Amino acid sequence: MAHKLLFVCLGNICRSPSAENIMNYLVQQKGLESEIICDSAGTSSYHIGASPDRRMRAAAARRGIKLVGQARQFEPSDFEKFDLILAMDRSNYRDILELDRDNIYSNKVRLMCDFASQHRDKEVPDPYYGGEAGFDHVINLLLDACDGLLEEVIKD
């Protein structure tokens, strides 16, 4: 049975679609497309239906990764659909857990940076209001964290 991963940030146009597409890129490199399914969502409804941010797409393209997808909002039904829900920061983490009123799924929710080995960041910073360097940093951080996450999933 396939492992299902959901990446979550605030608006689902910068960090979480980047994590989803980076993970898909790494999964394809290892030929594991049938074993690992990825999706992303936002805790807010700000950008529903929007494509990934153009600055994020440019930063990913510099690393040979294409960002595709449309923003959607996290729904309580996602708790059952996914094996692991990866929050980009502590605020997203809290917002996700608030929707788990009976505290049934907290073991499925993790912080993305828990899987990073090369970076010391505890959270994936939101690059939305910053410059190009912030978008590049997020791509590098997510490449690191997704690599660690993939190792963990393969071990399972």
Annotation says 9 is catalytic: yes
Annotation says 113 is catalytic: no
Check 14, 15, 72, 146 and give the catalytic one: 15
Domain that holds residue 23: 1-153
Rounded Cα distance between 23 and 58, Å, is 17
Check 39, 78, 89, 126 and give the catalytic one: 126
> Can you list the positions of beta strands (E) in the chain?
3-9, 36-42, 84-87, 109-111
Looking at the structure of the chain, the number of domains it has is 1
Relative to beta strand 3-9, strand 84-87 is parallel
Over its length of 156 residues, how does the chain's per-residue pLDDT go in tens digits? 899 999 999 999 999 999 999 999 999 999 999 999 999 999 999 999 999 999 999 999 999 999 999 999 999 999 999 999 999 999 999 999 999 999 999 999 999 999 999 999 999 999 999 999 999 999 999 999 999 999 999 998
Question: What's the pLDDT at 156?
Answer: 83
CATH of residue 45: 3.40.50.2300
Question: What's the pLDDT at 144?
Answer: 98
Task: Tell me the whole-structure pTM to 2 decimals.
Answer: 0.98
Residues near 52 by Cβ (< 8 Å), separated by ≥ 6? 13, 14, 17, 18, 21, 60, 67, 68, 69
Rounded Cα distance between 155 and 84, Å, is 14
